[in-house]
Every structure is written in structure tokens, then in C-alpha cells.
């Protein structure tokens, strides 16, 4: 806490040369490579189009540290610290009371964005953030091995299980003893919540909690989805995957030791790097569908939010509109490599020339499913903890699907109490 308090003081002072002026806005500048160039572009546009000045601050790179610092700023009602900042997808409900209601200002932009992210950013019918850039769960596959064994990318989980079993067996017979059919993020953490959401929702089992806040997970389809994945463990998925997060999964796949991998879009460009053994051999597809033909890809990414304590709401909204328009999203892609949230940009010639891989992601982004963070507000961390712990218990053989979803229903109802808050 002492370290964060010191960071708070540093943050409040960092780069503030005109703190006394109400017409100076402070915006979070991404610390990723290319961030300074992108922020200069935003600053030039904002200061040219308005009579205001723009300054930048940096937040910690670690998501949990950033959230803790934001919560300190909000508790102190320090309007000088930051006017616009990026919220993680799962923070929008959590920070509902600390962020500006944007409904009247940007509500008419709804049709310009992918529906999943927009729905995620709407709390109790009010728009509380605007999607900044996209991330969703994705299925990666070895194009060369599917071709070698005369197979196509799987459309269903049943297809994936069959193909993974077949090619894993053949590759091991050929001497590749540590080859696996399917890997994912199985460690007991937020990433497993995302995987569980994808499995269960694709099976028609819902999203744990519906939009009205009702706990819905205790159903046969949710149980069947968990049993399906439990059946992979030790067969087409290594038991070591129970310790995998994103990078452990990617390392196994990019080393050539797996046929299929569930991960986020960032892994694609890394798989095509000059030093990658898989350059030119990797395909991308939506995650497979369940028995009823539904595919679900967990929504990730970040959203632009406005501090409810800002002293210049009109200027903050003007800046927000600049940050989220088509031109800014093109520059964000150019400098930062971030996938746009405006659906029309996936048909834009200049965008696709600069990033042809985005053609593979449009369908995936269109099917993005938010985690139940908006409905559960400040209690989402406890909700997610229950989800990933119960799921982990199924994967390590300590429970079955039916028992697990009944247990999870009870846990989530206890967390909810009379209502989410």
C-alpha cells in the first residue's frame, strides 16, 4: 500500500506543468511501444480542434496495480490526476460509480462498434465506456499438419477432439513423443474463467450469470461442457496445462508441440516472427461450436472511460470522441498494433493492407461474449474466483460437471446475496 501511495503522489505530479488551469486535460498514454507517437497524434488533433491543452500520464503496466491506483485516486476524488483512462473489460461494472455516464454523448455510436464490447460497456442501460481495442479467445491450428492428414479446421468441439486424437497419435508414432492435440490456459486464474465461459456458452449453458443478474450456471449443458474438457486431460491435453497461462501455452504451441491452441490474438503475430519455427504454418479460426452450433469467444480488450470527477466534461467527451473515431483507431493500429473496435474498419482497404491478418478476426470479434463482470459490478473478482476454482477442480479430476455446476450455483448465489453491488 505504501508503494502505491507513493505512486499516487508521483502520478498526480507527473508531467503536470499547467495544473492550475481547468482547460488542461490529462489522459492515460499507453506505455506499449509506439505509445508516445500515438499520443502525440492525439494531442495534436485535440489541441487543434479545441481550446484545451492535453497532457499525459502513465499507469503501472500490471492490471491489478493499475486498478489499485485508480481506486486510490477515486477515493481521494483527485480530479487533477486523470480525466480519461483505459479500463479493463472486467472493470466497467466495478468502476460504475467512478466513471461518467456517456449515454447522451455517445449513445448514437452504438451501431458503429462490435456488439459484444458495446454491451460490456453498458451498465444498467447506461453507456459507461467506449471500446478502445479488441481481444477475444481464438483457436490456433497447424495448417501444415491438417493438410498432411487431410483434415479441415474443426467446426465443433467434437470435430476438434477427433482430429486432435488422430493427429496426436500419428505424430507420436512418427517420433514426436511430446506432441499434444489441444492446449489452453488451465491454471486457476482469470484466464481459466475465460476458457470456461467459452466452453459452457458454446454448449448452450449460458454465461454463469445473465444480463439481469440471475445465476444460471446449474444446468445440464454447462455440466456437459465441463465434462467434455475433463475428458481431454491426459489424453489430448497434457496435465501440465493445469499450470499454463497465456505464455506457457504459446511456448508449447510455437515450439511445434501442439496441434490446436486456445489463446488471444497477440499470439498470431508472434507465431509469424522471423525466429518462429511455425512461420507460415499457423491458421486462426473462431473457437469450435457446441452441439447446437454455437461458437463463443470470450471478450477481452480495453475501454476508454472518463473520470466522473473531471472538471471539464465537455472537453473530456470531445477527447473521447477523437480517441474512438475511425482515424484514431487506424493510427492506434499503426503505432500500437491494437485491433480496432469499429466494425467497418475490417472492410477498410488501408487497414487490411496494413494488417491483412485482421480479416481472420472479424468473425471472431463479432461473436465476442463478455464475462459476467458488468452485471456483478464490484463483486466480479469473487465471481471469477469461484468460476475458475470450480472449473479447475473438474479438470484435475476432483469433481464432475454435474456436481461442479451445482456447487458453483450455490457459491455465486452466496456472493450475490440480496443483489449485486
User: pLDDT by residue (tens digit) across 31-45?
Assistant: 888 999 999 999 999
pLDDT score of 18 more than 80: no
Q: What local confidence, expressed as pLDDT, does residue 92 receive? A: 95
**Pairing between strand 24-28 and 53-57?**
parallel
Averaged pLDDT for residues 371-391: 95
Helix pair 190-202, 220-230: axis angle to 10 deg: 120
For 226, residues 6+ apart whose C-beta sits below 8 A from its C-beta are 196, 199, 200, 391, 394, 400, 401, 404, 405
Q: Which residue has the cell 444460471?
A: 216
Averaged pLDDT for residues 79-92: 91
Angle, CA of 294, 300 and 305, to the nearest 5°: 130
Specify the range with the lowest mean pLDDT, choosing from 3-12, 69-78, 173-182, 243-252: 3-12
| Whole-number Å distance between alpha carbons of 179 and 158 | 20
| Whole-number Å distance between alpha carbons of 324 and 123 | 19
Q: Which three cell numbers stand for residue 52?
A: 484545451
Q: Which residue has the cell 463483486?
A: 379
Per-residue pLDDT reduced to its tens digit, 126-137: 999 999 999 999
Domain with CATH 3.40.190.10 in the chain: 25-133+301-367, 138-299+373-415
pLDDT score of 12 more than 70: no
Q: Which residue has the cell 511501444?
A: 33
25-133+301-367 in CATH: which number? 3.40.190.10
pLDDT score of 83 more than 70: yes
Per-residue pLDDT reduced to its tens digit, 192-210: 999 999 999 999 999 999 9
Query: Over pLDDT 70: what percentage of the chain?
Result: 95
Q: What local confidence, expressed as pLDDT, does residue 33 receive? A: 84
| Whole-number Å distance between alpha carbons of 83 and 76 | 14
pLDDT score of 390 more than 50: yes
Q: What local confidence, expressed as pLDDT, does residue 366 receive? A: 87
Specify the range with the lowest mean pLDDT, choosing from 53-67, 171-185, 389-403: 53-67
Confidence band of 8 (pLDDT split at 50, 70, 90): very low
Q: Which three cell numbers stand for residue 262?
A: 486456445
Exposed/middle/buried for residue 16 (C-beta within 10 Å: 0-12, 13-18, 19+): middle
| Whole-number Å distance between alpha carbons of 330 and 161 | 38
pLDDT score of 311 more than 80: yes
pLDDT score of 111 more than 70: yes
Averaged pLDDT for residues 111-130: 95
pLDDT score of 162 more than 60: yes
pLDDT score of 7 more than 50: no
Confidence band of 78 (pLDDT split at 50, 70, 90): confident
Averaged pLDDT for residues 220-236: 98
How far is Cα of residue 288 from the mean position of the Cα atoms in its chain?
Answer: 18
Averaged pLDDT for residues 214-222: 98
Averaged pLDDT for residues 175-194: 97
pLDDT score of 63 more than 90: no
CB burial readout 64-85, b (16+ within 10 A) else e:
eebbbbbebbbeeeebbbbbbb
Kindly state which CATH superfamily the domain 138-299+373-415 is placed in. Periplasmic binding protein-like II (3.40.190.10)
Q: What local confidence, expressed as pLDDT, does residue 79 receive? A: 65
Q: What local confidence, expressed as pLDDT, does residue 372 receive? A: 96
Confidence band of 337 (pLDDT split at 50, 70, 90): confident
pLDDT score of 64 more than 90: no
**Pairing between strand 138-142 and 258-263?**
antiparallel
For 99, residues 6+ apart whose C-beta sits below 8 A from its C-beta are 87, 92, 128, 129, 305, 306, 307, 308
Averaged pLDDT for residues 147-158: 98
Q: Does pTM top 0.85 for this prediction?
A: yes
Q: Say which residue, 22 or 375, is predicted with more confidence.
A: 375
Mean pLDDT in the chain? 92
CB count in 10 Å sphere of residue 53: 16
pLDDT score of 6 more than 50: no
The CB-based long-range contact list for 412-420 (8 Å cut-off, 24+ gap) reads: 412/208, 412/209, 412/215, 412/217, 412/383, 412/386, 413/215, 415/376, 415/379, 415/382, 415/383, 415/386, 416/213, 416/215, 416/376, 416/379, 419/213, 420/213, 420/375, 420/376, 420/377, 420/379
Residue 282's SS3 state is strand
| Whole-number Å distance between alpha carbons of 410 and 305 | 33
Amino acid at each position: 500500500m505504501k508503494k502505491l501511495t507513493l505512486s499516487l503522489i508521483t502520478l498526480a505530479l507527473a508531467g503536470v506543468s499547467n495544473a492550475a488551469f481547468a482547460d488542461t486535460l490529462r489522459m492515460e498514454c499507453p506505455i506499449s511501444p509506439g505509445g508516445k507517437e500515438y499520443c502525440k497524434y492525439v494531442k495534436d488533433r485535440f489541441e487543434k480542434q479545441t481550446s484545451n491543452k492535453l497532457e499525459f500520464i502513465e499507469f503501472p503496466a500490471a492490471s491489478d496495480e493499475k486498478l489499485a491506483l485508480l481506486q486510490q485516486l477515486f477515493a481521494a476524488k483527485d480530479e487533477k490526476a486523470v480525466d480519461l483512462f483505459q479500463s479493463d473489460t472486467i472493470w466497467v461494472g466495478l468502476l460504475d460509480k467512478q466513471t461518467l455516464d456517456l449515454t447522451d454523448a455517445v449513445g448514437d455510436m452504438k451501431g458503429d462498434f462490435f456488439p459484444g464490447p458495446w454491451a460490456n460497456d453498458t451498465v444498467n442501460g447506461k453507456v459507461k465506456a467506449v471500446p478502445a481495442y479488441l481481444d477475444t479467445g481464438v483457436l490456433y491450428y497447424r495448417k501444415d499438419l491438417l493438410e498432411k492428414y487431410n483434415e479441415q479446421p474443426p467446426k465443433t468441439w467434437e470435430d476438434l477432439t477427433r482430429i486432435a486424437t488422430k493427429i496426436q497419435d500419428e505424430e507420436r508414432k512418427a517420433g514426436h513423443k511430446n506432441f499434444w492435440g489441444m492446449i489452453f490456459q488451465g491454471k486457476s486464474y482469470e484466464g481459466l474463467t475465460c476458457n470456461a465461459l467459452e466452453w459452457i456458452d458454446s454448449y448452450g449453458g449460458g454465461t454463469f450469470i445473465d444480463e439481469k443478474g440471475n445465476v444460471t450456471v446449474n444446468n445440464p449443458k454447462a455440466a456437459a461442457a465441463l465434462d467434455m474438457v475433463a475428458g481431454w486431460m491426459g489424453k489430448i491435453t497434457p496435465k501440465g496445462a493445469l499450470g499454463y497461462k497465456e505464455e506457457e501455452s504459446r511456448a508449447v504451441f510455437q515450439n511445434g508441440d501442439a496441434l490446436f491452441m486456445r489463446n488471444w490474438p497477440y499470439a498470431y503475430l508472434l507465431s509469424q516472427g522471423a525466429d518462429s519455427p511455425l512461420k507460415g504454418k499457423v491458421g486462426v479460426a473462431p473457437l469450435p461450436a457446441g452441439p447446437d452450433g454455437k461458437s463463443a469467444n470470450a471478450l477481452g480488450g480495453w475501454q476508454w472511460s472518463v473520470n466522473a470527477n473531471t472538471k471539464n466534461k465537455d472537453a473530456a467527451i470531445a477527447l473521447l470522441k477523437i480517441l474512438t473515431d475511425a482515424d484514431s483507431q487506424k493510427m492506434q493500429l499503426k503505432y500500437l498494433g491494437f485491433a480496432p473496435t469499429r466494425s467497418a474498419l475490417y472492410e477498410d482497404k488501408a487497414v487490411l493492407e496494413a494488417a491483412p491478418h485482421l480479416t481472420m478476426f472479424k468473425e471472431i470479434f463479432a461473436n465476442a461474449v463478455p464475462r459476467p463482470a458488468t452485471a456483478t459490478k464490484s463483486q466480479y473478482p469473487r465471481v471469477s474466483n469461484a468460476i475458475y476454482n470450480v472449473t479447475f477442480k473438474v479438470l484435475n479430476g476432483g469433481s464432475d460437471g454435474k456436481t461442479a455446476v451445482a456447487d458453483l450455483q450455490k457459491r455465486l448465489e452466496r456472493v450475490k446475496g440480496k443483489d449485486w453491488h
